[in-house]
Amino acid sequence: MERRKFMKQSLFGAGAFIPFANQLTPIEKKIIQEDAKPFKCDYGFHDGTFKNLAGPDFIEQIKFGYSQGFRSIEDNGMMGRSAEQQQKIGDTLAKLGMRMGVFVISYASNDTLGLTTGKKEWMDKFSTTCKEAVEVAKRTNAKYMTVVPGSFDRSKAMGYQTSNVVEAMRRGAEIFEKHNLVMVMEPLSDSPNLFLRFSDQTFEICRAVNSPSCKILFDMYHMQKNEGNIINNINSSWDEIGYFQIGNNPGRKEPGTGEMDYKNILKHIYDKGYRGILGMEHGMAGKEKEGELALIKNYREADSF
Q: Quick one: pLDDT at residue 14?
A: 40
Beta bridge partners of 73: 45, 100
Q: Quick one: pLDDT at residue 8?
A: 52
CA–CA gap between residue 245 and residue 292 (Å, rounded): 19
At residue 277, φ and ψ (nearest 5 deg) are -85, 145
pLDDT digits (tens, 9 = 90+) for 106-158: 999 999 999 999 999 999 999 999 999 999 999 999 999 999 999 999 999 99
The alpha carbon dihedral of 100, 248, 263, 213 has a sign of: negative
**pTM for this model (two decimals):** 0.92
Q: Quick one: pLDDT at residue 32?
A: 73
CA–CA gap between residue 68 and residue 50 (Å, rounded): 11
Residue 204's nearest CA partner among 149, 261, 264, 251 is 149
pLDDT band for position 19 (cuts 50, 70, 90): low
Place domain 26-302 in its CATH homologous superfamily.
Answer: Divalent-metal-dependent TIM barrel enzymes (3.20.20.150)
pLDDT band for position 15 (cuts 50, 70, 90): very low
* Helix residue ranges per DSSP H, 141-212: 158-177, 199-209
Rounded mean pLDDT of the chain? Answer: 93
pLDDT band for position 1 (cuts 50, 70, 90): very low
The domain segmentation of the chain, as residue ranges, is 26-302
Nearby residues of 169 by Cβ (< 8 Å), 6 or more positions away: 147, 183, 185, 205, 206, 209, 211, 214
pLDDT digits (tens, 9 = 90+) for 216-267: 999 999 999 999 999 999 999 999 999 999 999 999 999 999 999 999 999 9
Mean pLDDT of the 200-227 span? 98
